[in-house]
Structure 1
Amino acid sequence: MGTEKNDNACIKETTWMGKKCIRFYAGGYEALMIPEVGANVMQLKDTVRGLNLLRTPPDNMDFEKFKNRPQVYGLPILFPPNRIEDGKFKVGDKEYKFPINEPKRNNYIHGFIKSEKWEASRIEILNKEEIEVEAIFNYTKDHEFYKYFPHEFQAKLTYNLSNKGLKQTTSVINKSSLKMPLGIGFHTSFNIPFHPESSESDCKLIASIDKRWEQDDRNLPTEKILDLTADEKKYLHEGIVPKGYPIESHYMLKPMNFNGHEFKGAIFEDRSKQLRLVYEMGKDYKHIVIWNDMGDKEYVCVEPQTCMINAPNVNMDDKITGFKTLEPGELWSEVCKIYLEEIK
């Protein structure tokens, strides 16, 4: 591939742990994508301010360790998202049984394409300050997971980098002859605080949440929908400091009015630096998990999901759970955006 340049825009082929990666620069941002592991954008930087926004695996990390647990770094895709009770679910007359990979809770968790090798299918400089990088994953009958999920499909991640930040378009097309279950999520891991001169208390999380799903001791929804507590309502206005105590909460997403505009997603606001780190989510992302890994780490995961945890096993209307199926040949697509903006 070499290096391509067009004024500010630049694409470089590089390596990490001996694996080929694509580093691309545009509009004051820099991204690093690794096709070898789920086409994960494991680094996103604001080059103007010198800020690393996403949690990046350290250079000396063992590659297999990263590959086996990419969900705590960067922008990993979950298909299906989060947990499936006992690894089992049913769609119509068809039963699915996924292998248990969370044995202490007897769940299947986080899907099977986040660690797969993808193919960088298109790399294009669109103009002086805009680049697009596309990666695809073709799932066929030859895949070892096919015995659990017998549907051929193609997943595509398109990353557009510009002065508007990172725009991520996720697409899935059902290439099988049967109706295919679909659930997509991201276990997006943000460096918090995202400015090295800030403290934990400087960074507050604002989120457009509506109701909370009660969860049992297996972290599965009980099907009981709870109103937000007084503390949780702070997410909607002044925000909360998402560190120093454990958070693992599952919410419905609902657009909110933020600064006079409709907004859906999450915002980390650092008033000490007059900056906002914004994670904007498309309409098909109807649920969100907020998780901070016990609250004593230097990162917080904000996890948009098209469907709730364990959605195919929840006895509620699909309009509530977000559970979808794709007809043969049907295409699904949705967008998320990550960008930094000044507080004015």
Structure 2
Amino acid sequence: MNNKNESASIKEVLWKNHKAVQFSAGGYEALIVPEVGANVIEFRNTIKEVSILRSPNDDLEFEEFKSRPQVYGLPVLFPPNRIEDGKFKVGDKVYQFPINEPKNHNYIHGFIKNDRWQITKKEIISKGEVEIEAVFNFNKEHSFYKYLPHEFQFKLIYNLSNKGLKQTTSITNLSDKEMPIGIGYHTAFNVPFHEESKDEDYRIIASIGKRWVQDERNLPTEEILDLTEKEKQYVNKGIIPLGYKIESHYTLKNINVDGSEFHGAIIEDISKKLRVVYEMGKEYKHMVIWNDMGDKHYVCIEPQTCVINAPNINLDDNITGFKTLAPKDTWKESAKIYVEDFN
């Protein structure tokens, strides 16, 4: 276990026979696999013995991680979740993505989560703080360019300190045309996150406002409903996240947590009086909560800039969150994950 006063460090390591970057600061440890989406595949608070994110346990699971990175760590979705029939229109331009969810005839989860990224910066800022920068440059050489003909640069900056992990995401449109963007994370949290705790010790609190109704293809309809009495518990005492299926899509709004405004989600261990806090920047206006049938000891909390299938929903962009990025413009937002005690 790390000592609280141990100096920050950055190491290049082999993890499951893949090159990785391991970094630590302020009682936290994290590990990135650049060749699989620059995913933070391990994240721990070593002082409180909390294993925050779901990681592959063995070589077999690592193979699944390479093909399905959306169920491990902190994978980026671009665009988030599903596009109906893989098709949408922006102005006069029609985009046709490949169908990779044949059962529902959708395009799902984007492509940069599986792709190779470059680590462009590794810096120990101080004794208690480190910063890692990862970049994905997309151009005409990429096989997906025929579906999304815009050059762009995606950048992830991970800052680690005693305040936890701050992740700053940016995308710059390097093309000469308006570019559709939608960004999300399929963040997979361990439940339980402490080895001495049990499933029933856990609750999720989430700053949700309303629920998007979804059809049999898991696509939102244009109906947005008030929360049910059970769903209202997300914003109060919280809901047990395991033991039954959860797959719901919500709008985000600020709620009051311990006297302060909060935007995001919290996983609490009531036996240890510990919580993992997922604080989301205001650009994340929608969220999916999904637990993979509720029997696999993890839950995905998925902040999104836009609703699933946003460009195909016949509602105002202010409601769906769909946006385009002008040539040479940059979009940027941050999120934080950290561990704290609570009463």
How many Å separate the matches in 2 of 1:221 and 1:273? 37
Match of 1:3 in 2: none
How many Å separate the matches in 2 of 1:42 and 1:192? 16
Asked if 1:118 is matched to 2:83, the reply is: no
Asked if 1:53 is matched to 2:52, the reply is: yes
- Secondary structure class of the residue paired with 2:79: coil
What's the CA shift string for 1:139-196, capped at 9, x where partnerless? 0000000000000000000000000000000000000001000000000000001111
Match of 1:90 in 2: 89
Match of 1:333 in 2: 332
Corresponding letter in the other structure for 1:337? K
Match of 2:9 in 1: 10
Match of 2:182 in 1: 183
How many Å separate the matches in 2 of 1:188 and 1:36? 18
**Paired residues of 2:56 and 2:62 also in contact (CA < 8 A):** no
Please state how far the C-alpha of 1:335 moved relative to its aligned partner: 0.4
Corresponding letter in the other structure for 1:192? V
**Paired residues of 2:207 and 2:235 also in contact (CA < 8 A):** yes
Aligned length: 339
Please state how far the C-alpha of 1:17 moved relative to its aligned partner: 2.7
Structure 1 gaps, min length 5: 1-5
CA gap 1:202/1:67 in 2 versus in 1, 3 angstroms:
same
Match of 2:268 in 1: 269
Corresponding letter in the other structure for 2:57? P
Please state how far the C-alpha of 1:276 moved relative to its aligned partner: 0.8
Please state how far the C-alpha of 1:80 moved relative to its aligned partner: 0.2
**Paired residues of 1:279 and 1:337 also in contact (CA < 8 A):** yes
Corresponding letter in the other structure for 2:288? V
Structure 2 gaps, min length 5: none
How many Å separate the matches in 1 of 2:317 and 2:100? 26
Corresponding letter in the other structure for 1:310? N
How many Å separate the matches in 1 of 2:269 and 2:185? 23
Asked if 1:78 is matched to 2:77, the reply is: yes
Corresponding letter in the other structure for 2:127? K
Alignment of 1:115-154 (within 5 A): 115-154=114-153
- Secondary structure class of the residue paired with 2:60: coil
What's the CA shift string for 1:86-133, capped at 9, x where partnerless? 000000000000000000000000001000000000000011100000
- Secondary structure class of the residue paired with 1:320: helix
How many Å separate the matches in 2 of 1:160 and 1:40? 14
Match of 1:196 in 2: 195
Corresponding letter in the other structure for 2:215? D
**Paired residues of 2:152 and 2:173 also in contact (CA < 8 A):** yes
- Secondary structure class of the residue paired with 2:332: strand
What's the CA shift string for 1:39-81, capped at 9, x where partnerless? 0000000111222110001232365432110000000000000
Please state how far the C-alpha of 1:8 moved relative to its aligned partner: 1.2
Alignment of 1:137-286 (within 5 A): 137-286=136-285
Asked if 1:25 is matched to 2:24, the reply is: yes
Match of 1:317 in 2: 316
**Paired residues of 1:14 and 1:21 also in contact (CA < 8 A):** yes
- Secondary structure class of the residue paired with 2:53: coil
How many Å separate the matches in 1 of 2:37 and 2:275? 28
Percent same amino acid at aligned positions? 65
- Secondary structure class of the residue paired with 1:337: strand
**Paired residues of 1:266 and 1:280 also in contact (CA < 8 A):** yes
TM-score with structure 1 setting the length:
0.97
How many Å separate the matches in 2 of 1:66 and 1:194? 19
- Secondary structure class of the residue paired with 1:61: helix
C-alpha RMSD over aligned residues: 1.0
**Paired residues of 1:183 and 1:323 also in contact (CA < 8 A):** yes
